[in-house]
């Protein structure tokens, strides 16, 4: 991937609905080479897909929760079961493997505190192998972006 490919990606991260003509203007390429590069980025897996950015509060999910989870043990069965259940749980938007005292951090969206309690009791605790959950509620957002920093 070169700097022109990164320019294309950043432009699409800022506006995924732009036409190829607008994209080629934004990155200073003629339309045909721009489209060729775009298709290559899609086929190589550099661009994973396209989606709409939605206001979670307006959608009805005003509560963002960050939960750090520690597993009882790190044997293959517990890790595989936990990660499979995380992938299948729609309330979990992100899950990251951590270094340090906790094993995972998840980002969860819920409509209210009762829904989060239900989520913990019926989705997380039922997985088995979870030693502890440390929950933090976000009460505001200072910055949220999907645009990667420039490498050039």
Percent of the chain at pLDDT exceeding 70:
100
Percent of the chain at pLDDT exceeding 90:
97
Cα(16)–Cα(3) distance, rounded to whole angstroms?
Answer: 19
Could you give the 3-state DSSP secondary structure of residue 91? coil
Average pLDDT over residues 45-56: 94
Which pLDDT score is estimated for 14?
A: 94
| pTM (predicted TM-score) | 0.87
Which fold, 3-44? Arc Repressor Mutant, subunit A (1.10.10)
Q: Is the pLDDT of residue 152 over 80?
A: no
Where exactly are the structural domains of the chain? 3-44, 56-138
26 close to 18: Cβ distance less than 8 angstroms: yes
Residue 81 is given by DSSP the state: H
Cα(132)–Cα(150) distance, rounded to whole angstroms?
Answer: 38
Q: What is the pLDDT of residues 76-132, one digit of tens each?
A: 999 999 999 999 999 999 999 999 999 999 999 999 999 999 999 999 999 989 999
Query: For domain 56-138, which architecture applies?
Result: 2-Layer Sandwich (3.30)
Average pLDDT over residues 50-72: 96
Q: Is the pLDDT of residue 143 over 90?
A: yes
Which pLDDT score is estimated for 10?
A: 96
Closest CA to 80 of 129, 19, 142, 26: 129
Average pLDDT over residues 39-58: 96
């Amino acid at each position: 991937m070169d700097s022109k490919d990164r320019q294309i990606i950043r432009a699409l991260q800022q506006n995924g609905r732009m036409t190829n003509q607008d994209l080629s203007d934004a990155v200073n390429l003629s339309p045909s080479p721009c489209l060729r590069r775009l298709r290559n980025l899609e086929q190589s897996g550099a661009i994973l897909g396209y989606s709409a950015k939605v206001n979670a509060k307006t959608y009805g999910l005003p509560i963002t929760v960050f939960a750090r989870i520690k597993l009882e043990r790190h044997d293959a069965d517990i890790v595989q079961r936990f990660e499979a259940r995380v992938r299948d749980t729609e309330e979990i938007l992100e899950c990251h493997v951590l270094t340090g005292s906790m094993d995972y951090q998840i980002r969860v969206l819920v409509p209210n505190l009762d829904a989060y309690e239900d989520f913990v009791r019926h989705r997380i605790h039922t997985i088995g192998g979870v030693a502890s959950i440390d929950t933090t509620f976000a009460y505001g957002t200072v910055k949220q972006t999907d645009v990667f920093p420039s490498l050039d």
